[in-house]
Structure 1
Amino acid sequence: MAASNTTHAPRWSNRESWFIVCVYCGWETIALLLSTLYSFSQPVVQEVYGVPSNQVATLGQSMQIIGNLFGVAVLSPLSDEYGRKKVTIASMLAYSLFNLGTAYAPNFITLIAFMFMSGFAWSTSLSFVPAVFSDLYLNRDDIGQPIALFVIGASVGPTLGVIVATALMEADVDLKWYFLVIVFGSAACTLPMLLVPETSTPKSSKTEEQGGNAALLHSPSVTPLKQANRSTADTRQLPGTHFFLTRVWVLLTTEPIMWITGVYNGLANGVFVLTVGGAITTLTEFKGLP
């Protein structure tokens, strides 16, 4: 792919665009496995760590959701500063490492801490996919199918987690294997992500380019007119990292559509998690399934 494709993503071929879409949606599916894996592993968590009640064991799931909240607020703005690909790969590796810590947590407090950090890391799986779609399909009218794949991935991940969790329960494996599955899956997703080109020009690259232009101002070969034009252009400084880290909170508090859709999305995810957790009790205690 040509280097210019980074700044003209909508000009990429349909084949290249679909490769990028499939890789990011695959990462989304693998990351969402944990949302149902932990729900099914809660009885094992209670047994291994001596947790007195199911409500206390659910704290691990809650901490993961809270970590996801902070992850979106921090990692998503950083992708504008350093690019989608770099931040995604870093979050994938962090997700594997944090789940490795969860698998071998010596006590319940450590388990909760690593659940929070793993939720922080996998937040990119949901927040980056729409951003990548915006990079790829901004000036195109064929975004419907990629969005459909994104929605399917969000449903397939938890569903696949139920299947994997059931197989692990039938095999009567140790608690660590519920999390090692995520470690291996996330690490495997890193390989195709290495082949994905950057879809968004990092703001840091533009800053370096501005610095290079400023250095040319003092070059003897530059005419006074060119110096004046470049000096005027260089006065438009790009915002720094602090701007991207705080802008999300400003938009959340000042734009009604942002917090309304955010609250709705949070309620929808909460209902989904409750449905998955309630299905276990319904099938085992009321329907007589083993």
Structure 2
Amino acid sequence: MSDSEEKKSDLSAPSLFILGTAFGPAFLGPLSDLGGRKWIYVVSIIFYIIFNFGCAWPLNMPMVAIFMFIIGVCGSTALSNVAGTIGDMFCASDEASQPMALFVFAANAGPSVGGIVGEAIAENPKLGYKWIFIINIIIGAAYVVGMCFLPETLPRIVIEERTAMEGRDCPGVIWREFGYLKEMLTFKTPSYKAIYEEKLSHEGDAAVVVEKVNTFNEIRFVALQALKMMVTEPIIIFMGLYNGFAYAILFLYLDGIFDVFVFNNNLSYIAAECTYLNFVVGVAFVLLLQPVQTWLFKRDRIRNGGIPRPEARFLLSLVTVWGFPLGLFWFAFTSDGSVNYWSPIVAGFVLALADPLLWLAMLNYIIDSYSAAGLSNSAIAAFCIPSFAIAGALSHAGVAMFENMTTTWAMATLGFISIGIVALVYIFFFFGPRLRAASKLAKFSVISTD
């Protein structure tokens, strides 16, 4: 590529990557709910590796942009499937909180460190941009090899394999956590357009429902389920739009990093990239605070007669969400270079603490609300679509903001917008039961923890 094409791709390629991340969960999430988690991981990352080769040795800028979109689609498995996998392995709602916190830590710390590595590679004349993609290829290959040796976690598939090994006939199994009422066990899950035989059998701590599955309807389910949930489920609609604006604010904040630290504070580009490490520190504090949220969740369950409320996932966020406007306003009014650059760095840490905690609360809330219907991954996928679509659409807005406004007022504008995020957290906490009652799927969200 020519230098001019590289400059154009600086904007178009990241935007299309974000849009690909929004599009991928639409079918990868439901597909993993249907056919299992393991091989969705493996196959998607194989394609991720293939298209990274194309970006490492591209013919022109359009090729980079298109391949970045496909890489975003394939890489979105990490967002659409991991939450469901954790839900598979940790059935009780209390047990899943800390593993989910580790996932959120990795999802936030990885890009922070990756930005520094990417900038160092780009500035090295002996390496260049192609080595960013070569490193992706190496890491992806190692990941694929490791995944091949890990077991499947989707309970339906696990029970099918177990019954097959024991020589019993079990053509299809829908898993339900033991302890539900009988009518819950015979509830005809919307994710399967099937003819059910009302035959129940107990498998230790689980109960199974035998079914006859229509393959055509399964394929139709994969294609439409996440999109259908995105437009018909009140929780997904409000939470997806809400998280979309939160993501957009975060992306716009990152657009201003170089203006603040390179131009206003005279740091080098690599030093400015190092300021992203405040996000690593912030999300590390999430790991430390998550046990507090788990304790609050358990206490709320006891007070509620032993029945967990998904809304209790927001108990800690009711306080920490104020870090959104606080961090943005703090950053805004210390970003002009008149104050030591450590002040906006600490402000970024406050934002880095508030955002992952809120994202973690929303993921746990969605899993709690939709796991009873066997649709946690599809729900996460439907939640991710508007989140990244809005962020991708607004990724160019930050460039215009910082070109036409000072860094102070560009960041302050984001601070004013973020006040709406604070309000929505309180709306979800106090009116969440009404939203779940209005849902055809989430109204069954009673989670056994025995």
* TM-score, normalised by the number of residues in structure 1: 0.69
Q: CA deviation at 1:171?
A: 2.1
User: Which one of 10, 18, 21 corresponds to residue 68 of structure 1?
Assistant: 21
Partner of 2:78: 125
Separation in 2, partners of 1:154, 1:232? 42
Separation in 2, partners of 1:250, 1:86? 24
Q: Percent same amino acid among aligned pairs?
A: 31
- What root-mean-square deviation, in Å, do the aligned CA atoms of Structure 1 and Structure 2 show? 2.7
User: Which one of 140, 146, 164 corresponds to residue 186 of structure 1?
Assistant: 140
Separation in 2, partners of 1:251, 1:121? 21
Deviations 1:267-290 (A, max 9, x none): 222222223332123222222123
Q: Name the CA shift for 1:78/1:235 in 2 (closer, same or farther; >3 Å).
A: closer
The answer to whether the aligner puts 1:138 opposite 2:72 as a matched pair is no
Partner of 1:249: 227
2:264 maps to amino acid:
F
Q: Secondary structure at the match of 1:142?
A: coil
In terms of fraction of residues, the more strand-rich structure is 2
Q: CA deviation at 1:111?
A: 0.4
Partner of 1:155: 108
Separation in 2, partners of 1:68, 1:244? 17
CA contact (8 A) 1:49 1:107 kept: no
Q: Secondary structure at the match of 1:50?
A: helix
Partner of 1:282: 260
Separation in 2, partners of 1:98, 1:256? 36
The answer to whether the aligner puts 1:260 opposite 2:238 as a matched pair is yes
Q: CA deviation at 1:100?
A: 1.2
Q: Name the CA shift for 1:278/1:139 in 2 (closer, same or farther; >3 Å).
A: same
**How many pairs does the alignment contain?**
223
Partner of 2:218: 240
Structure scoring higher RCO (CA < 8 A, sep ≥ 6) equals: 1
Separation in 2, partners of 1:151, 1:280? 25
In terms of fraction of residues, the more helix-rich structure is 1
Q: After TM superposition, list the pairs within 5 Å mapping 1:35-114 onto structure 2.
A: 48-51=2-5, 57-114=10-67
Uncovered stretches (5+) of structure 1, i.e. residues with no partner: 1-44, 212-229
Deviations 1:72-99 (A, max 9, x none): 0011111122210000011111111111
Deviations 1:139-165 (A, max 9, x none): 363222101101111111111112212
Uncovered stretches (5+) of structure 2, i.e. residues with no partner: 162-168, 173-195, 200-209, 269-450
CA contact (8 A) 2:53 2:133 kept: yes
Q: Name the CA shift for 1:69/1:151 in 2 (closer, same or farther; >3 Å).
A: same
* TM-score, normalised by the number of residues in structure 2: 0.46
Q: Name the CA shift for 1:254/1:231 in 2 (closer, same or farther; >3 Å).
A: closer
1:105 maps to amino acid:
P
Q: Secondary structure at the match of 1:240?
A: helix
